[in-house]
Amino acid sequence: MLQNQEGQRVPQVTFPVRDGNEWKNVSTSDLFDGKRVVVFSLPGAFTPTCSSTHLPRYNELASTFFAHGVDSILCVSVNDTFVMNEWAKDQEAEHIIMVPDGNGLFTEGMGMLVDKADLGFGKRSWRYSMLVDDGVVTKMFIEPQEPGDPFKVSDADTMLAFVAPAAKKPDQVAILTREGCPFCAKAKALLADEGYQYAEVSLPVSIRSRALGAISGRGTVPQVFVNGALVGGADELEAWIKAKNAKAA
């Protein structure tokens, strides 16, 4: 039976962490004392849901969490420090502190250690998230005890809604480009000047026309999307930004 630890202090554990070419010990006191911390824990680095959704969305919303009183965001997994470090690089998770609970002591102390021997994982963490104030668990979102790997309540958006219900989330921006395109460079500069973080998809020649047509209905790059809606090329983006800024003024 999974244990909700709201109102309890987090377990006192020391994590061996590889920092560069040196070992150092990081304790739960180092991570939690005097801080407001969001934690999300998951079954394993490089696994599908963890890599495609769980970790990336916390990293994406990190600045919003920080703007609303959260000091740090921790990702806990029963993996060693080398795996967690490589996963952080792979995911470009610069805003997340990776906590390698290789021995499962923190996870066990949280009452979240489960047996995933059927997948060859051994003992791993159940998926959950929590808000911790000065070492005391304020809120926990624990995934339901269902077969498989449910992912319904421990996501970043659910946690942000608890921490700051009125928070405005950053726009999700993507741009389709090709190498050497001056109009693409202009569009990226416009986005950067406005402070947008964007995902760039550089299309190879072999699929460019088909991909552009299928995704945007257009035949040229760049094509910019904001929150799932097509804005268009560089000139259309510039007009969109001017209109948005005028409305905000």
- Provide mean pLDDT across the span 212-238: 96
User: Is 75 a residue of the active site?
Assistant: no
Q: 50, 75, 181, 184: which is the annotated catalytic residue?
A: 50
In this prediction, residue 148 carries a pLDDT of 87
34-90 residue pLDDT tens: 999 999 999 999 999 999 999 999 999 999 999 999 999 999 999 999 999 999 999
Domain spanning 173-248: CATH superfamily: Glutaredoxin (3.40.30.10)
Asked whether the predicted pLDDT for residue 249 surpasses 90, the reply is: no
141-199 residue pLDDT tens: 999 999 889 999 999 999 999 999 999 999 999 999 999 999 999 999 999 999 998 99
* Assigned fold of 14-163: Glutaredoxin (3.40.30)
Q: What is the spatial distance between Cα 74 and Cα 127, in angstroms, rounded to a whole number? A: 13
Asked whether the predicted pLDDT for residue 1 surpasses 80, the reply is: no
80-126 residue pLDDT tens: 999 999 999 999 999 999 999 999 999 999 999 999 998 899 999 99
In this prediction, residue 3 carries a pLDDT of 86
Residues of the chain with CATH 3.40.30.10: 14-163, 173-248
- Provide mean pLDDT across the span 209-237: 95
pLDDT band at 25 (very low <50, low <70, confident <90, very high): very high
User: Which residue in this structure is represented by tokens 């808000």?
Assistant: 131
- Provide mean pLDDT across the span 221-249: 95
- Provide mean pLDDT across the span 198-224: 93
In this prediction, residue 33 carries a pLDDT of 98
Q: Which of 50-59, 205-214, 227-236 has the lowest mean pLDDT?
A: 205-214
How buried is residue 177: exposed, middle or buried, by Cβ count under 10 Å (0-12/13-18/19+)? Answer: buried
- Cβ–Cβ under 8 Å, residues 16 and 51: no
Asked whether the predicted pLDDT for residue 248 surpasses 90, the reply is: no
Rg for the chain (alpha carbons), in Å? 21
How far is residue 169 from each of residues 144, 150, 156, 175, 179, measured CA to CA in Å?
Answer: 26, 24, 11, 19, 30
- Provide mean pLDDT across the span 133-139: 98
